[in-house]
Amino acid sequence: MFSEELKAFRRLGLRHVLLQALNFASVIASGLMIWKGLGLVTNSESPIVVVLSGSMEPAFYRGDLLFLTNPSSEKYHNGDITVYKIPGADIPIVHRVLETHDAKTRTGDQSVPKQRLLTKGDNNEVNDIELYRGLEYLERKHIVGKVRGFLPYIGYVTIAMNDFPQLKYALLGGLGLLALIQRE
């Protein structure tokens, strides 16, 4: 099945293989730099997320790709769609702000404004207090970002690779092999 590709790989010199490996590493490094750059520009640890459940239907469906920003000076309002992450939870959650509460906390001699949020999925019957793991409300430190745009269905690739790890390894292995045996 791969006998021709294996023969072609054996004919390549060590220098060519190393050059192709370096090119492949450059592509990976460029992708990581773009991701980190997006994180800096949007002030979000995860500027792009995939919807993993149907809790926000009909606004967003499973597999939709969401684009986030998290400006530090912006206040959240009822109806805003946010992505939040609770400490100890692995997966960020996309839900709509149901209530906002402005509070002040004392830091030394100063009173600092602090916004607290209550969220709910559009397709859920109840609010998210049960998801907050002992917290009454979300605070700004829990917010990953505010949804600014989306692309439908594009995230299904990520879902498929997480649901079927063999697919992910086959795809990455195939891309790596193609990068090594490419002749240009």
The catalytic residues are 55, 95, 128
Asked if omega into 165 is within 30° of 0 (cis), the reply is no
| Residue where the block lists tokens 């149901």 | 98
Separation in Å, CA 35 to CA 44, 76, 179: 11, 25, 22
> 3-class SS at 98?
strand
> 3-class SS at 65?
strand
> 3-class SS at 103?
strand
Given a contact cutoff of 8 angstroms between Cβ atoms, the answer to whether 74 and 147 are in contact is no
Given a contact cutoff of 8 angstroms between Cβ atoms, the answer to whether 47 and 149 are in contact is no
Q: How many Å apart are CA 50 and CA 153, to the nearest integer? A: 9
